[in-house]
Amino acid sequence: MLNSFNGGGLAEYAVASANLTVKRPAEVSAAEGAGLPIAAGTALQALRSIGAKFDGTSKPLNVLVTAASGGVGLYAVQLAKLANLHVTATCGARNMDLVKSLGADEVMDYRTPEGASLQSPSGRKYDGVVHCTIGVSWSSFQPLLSDAGRVIDITPNFSAILTSALHRVTFSKKRLVPLLLSPNKADLEFLVGLLKEGKLKTVIDSKFPLSDAGKAWQSSIDGHATGKIAVEIES
């Protein structure tokens, strides 16, 4: 994983910190591994913030994953199921079968009234939300949460940060929590191990050669990728 502030990954050679570098096993392709540091790392830390554990001791939590067919969302669905959580997910209609196949218990098309409401079809209250999109206010989530439910916002805006601060100073049980990824080697090793064992899958939307990196960025900016967009070095 490279320094998020400096970037530098779109190059034939890049310098990475030794304490944020792990070996890629032969069972994991370069493109599959490349999806892990930011997207899977964010999903993992978001779920841990909700209370998910990956040692078999997780409580039977109910979680909602928004934008579940995006880069972070697809990892979040899989990781949540590995932690034995009940997963409700929203995504576009064309990706509902994919999200279901990766383990989601309930999948809703976000364009329908039911999906836009974010309510669990089974009437469950959410112990946590991995919020991977924009344009949904705290007031939409608040009535859907359990007594101590948390919304982990991976793309917080200024309003979300203010709401989070208010929740902290008022000791609110229901909380909005902005997430800033905290890179560490242990998480990378854990995620690579899951890929190697076939317990986690990197869904690749498309691949571009380095010479077409601009097209890759445009595809990402368009916002409709299913999974990860990979840029590969031409051999």
pLDDT of residue 224: 84
DSSP sequence for 144-211: GEEEEEEEEESS--HHHHHHHHHHHHTT-SSEEEE------HHHHHHHHHHHHTTSS-PPEEEEEEGG
pLDDT of residue 4: 74
Q: Is 119 left (phi over 0), alpha (psi -120 to 50) or beta?
A: beta
Alpha helices in the chain (DSSP H): 30-34, 41-50, 71-82, 96-101, 113-117, 138-141, 158-169, 185-196, 213-222
pLDDT band at 3 (very low <50, low <70, confident <90, very high): confident
Question: How high does pLDDT run on average in the chain?
Answer: 94
Which residues are bridge partners to 145 per DSSP? 126
Instruction: Give Cβ neighbours of residue 62 (< 8 Å, ≥ 6 apart).
Output: 85, 86, 88, 120, 124, 125, 126, 127, 128, 146
Question: What does the alpha-carbon distance between residue 150 and residue 146 come to, in Å, rounded to a whole number?
Answer: 8
Q: Give Dmax (Cα) for the chain.
A: 57
> Per the structure block, which two tokens stand in for 43?
């999903």
Structural domains in the chain, sorted by start: 18-232 (3.40.50.720)
pLDDT of residue 198: 96
Q: Is the pLDDT of residue 176 over 90?
A: yes
Mean pLDDT across 40-60? 94
For residues 149, 154, 157, 158, the Cα torsion angle rounded to the nearest 10 degrees is: 60
pLDDT of residue 110: 96
Q: What is the pTM of this model?
A: 0.94
Question: What does the alpha-carbon distance between residue 71 and residue 132 come to, in Å, rounded to a whole number?
Answer: 9
195, 33 in Cβ contact below 8 A? yes
Q: Is the pLDDT of residue 213 over 80?
A: yes
Q: Tokens 């998910």 sit at which residue?
A: 52
Q: Is 180 left (phi over 0), alpha (psi -120 to 50) or beta?
A: beta
Q: Read off the amino acid at residue 106.
A: E
Instruction: Count CB neighbours of 205 within 10 A.
Output: 18
> Which of 152, 153, 147, 155 is CA-nearest to residue 172?
147
